[in-house]
Amino acid sequence: MTLIVGMAGKGGTGKTTLAGMTARYLVETGRKPVLAVDADANANLADVLGMEYEHTLSDAREEMKTSAGDVSITKDVLIEMRTQEAIVEGDDIDLVVMGKPEGAGCYCAANAVLGAVLERTLKNYPYQVIDNEAGMEHISRLTSRYMDVFYVVSDASRRGLIAALRIWQLVEELKITVPNKYLILNRVRGEVSKDVMDIIEKEKMNLAGVIPDDMAIYDADQQAKPTSLLTASDSPAVAAAREIFKKTLG
Ligand SMILES: Nc1ncnc2c1ncn2[C@@H]1O[C@H](COP(=O)(O)OP(=O)(O)OP(=O)(O)O)[C@@H](O)[C@H]1O
Ligand SMILES: [Mg+2]
């Protein structure tokens, strides 16, 4: 049994922060090892987790590309090696960074090999958390077409929610398989407006919970401390997030 959790949402809503917290939550509830996948070209999941990385999967792909069309076994071995190199091993959480999107040129062969290697590698991890890039256009080329749990993260503004709704609907249109799709409102100040709650209800967006805007997160971020290390007693946001995880991940 694997459990794959994915994040989506508009820029700056808290996807990466929540991806880090999700990974920690899984570990704390005995579900490990977790593979944290940074699928954002502007990678920063490592900071949130307090990890460092040197290589990305796109480095591996670039190297492969130069040998497009070459199907010799040595290239397979090479990419396998590079993929392994790109996985940073932590105590309970390993991290892999996808890196920059493809440049010009033909990546078909490289992508095919990388895809196969990645699939094999991912199978080793019973728990995976995927931090996706912001925005709509990226949803259509999500790294994973299947996620057990998909969190759409939004702020509590009306405009923010409309953006979240578009993502919500796009996921359905694209037939990405997500048995459990939830809306999370993050960085909420005060009450969520009736207007916003009405949209959520009307559109049947499955609201998993509301996370307050929290100085503790802000401070940790300012001091370059990994926010995923904050505990529920340090931070009301972590406390709220954990309630959401409990409800949606068990
Ligand atoms: N509940 C919260 N309270 C206060 N600050 C928060 C909260 N959640 C996230 N933040 C802060 O908001 C900023 C954006 O968060 P984050 O990077 O997780 O968003 P993102 O959706 O991944 O952004 P991007 O689209 O750029 O990848 C960060 O500085 C983060 O520390
Ligand atoms: Mg992010």
Cis omega (within 30 of 0) on the bond before 236? no
Atom 18, ligand 1: residue with shortest CA distance: 14
Distances (CA, A) of 130 to 30, 159, 215, 220, 228: 19, 25, 25, 22, 15
CA of residue 76 to ligand 1 center, whole Å: 38
Percent of the chain with pLDDT over 70: 94
Interatomic CA distance for residues 153 and 235, integer angstroms: 19
Residue 106: pLDDT over 80: no
Strand 87-88 with 149-154, pairing: unpaired
Among candidate residues 62, 73, 63, 79, the one with its CA nearest the CA of residue 113: 79
Q: What is the pLDDT of residue 135?
A: 77
Q: Residues lining ligand 1, CB < 6 A?
A: 9, 11-17, 40, 134, 186-187, 211, 213-214, 217-218, 221, 227, 237
The model's confidence at residue 212, banded by pLDDT at 50, 70 and 90, is very high
What does the pLDDT average to over 77-104?
A: 88
What does the pLDDT average to over 42-50?
A: 95
The model's confidence at residue 111, banded by pLDDT at 50, 70 and 90, is confident
The position carrying tokens 């996921």 is: 171
CA of residue 28 to ligand 1 center, whole Å: 22
3-class state of residue 12 by DSSP: coil
3-class state of residue 186 by DSSP: strand
Phi and psi at residue 247, in whole multiples of 5°?
A: -70, -40
DSSP string for residues in 70-130: ---HHHHHHHHHHHHHHEEP-SSEEEEE--SPP-SS--HHHHHHHHHHHHHHHTT-SEEEE
Q: Provide the mean pLDDT of the chain.
A: 90
Question: For residue 30, what are the contacts with CB-CB under 8 A and spacing of at least 6?
Answer: none
The number of the ligand 1 atom at minimal distance from the alpha carbon of 188 is 1
Q: Token digits for 153? A: 């993260």
Interatomic CA distance for residues 37 and 19, integer angstroms: 9
The model's confidence at residue 248, banded by pLDDT at 50, 70 and 90, is very high
Quick: pLDDT tens for 123-177. Answer: 889 999 999 988 777 777 676 778 999 999 999 999 999 999 999 999 888 888 9
3-class state of residue 231 by DSSP: coil
Interatomic CA distance for residues 71 and 58, integer angstroms: 19
pTM metric for this prediction: 0.93
Quick: pLDDT tens for 3-27. Answer: 999 999 999 999 999 999 999 999 9
The position carrying tokens 């997500």 is: 178
Question: For residue 155, what are the contacts with CB-CB under 8 A and spacing of at least 6?
Answer: 10, 13, 161, 185, 186, 187, 188
Distances (CA, A) of 13 to 186, 213, 234, 237: 7, 11, 21, 13
Q: What is the pLDDT of residue 67?
A: 59
Atom 23, ligand 1: residue with shortest CA distance: 12
Residue 107: pLDDT over 60: yes
Quick: pLDDT tens for 63-75. Answer: 777 655 555 557 7
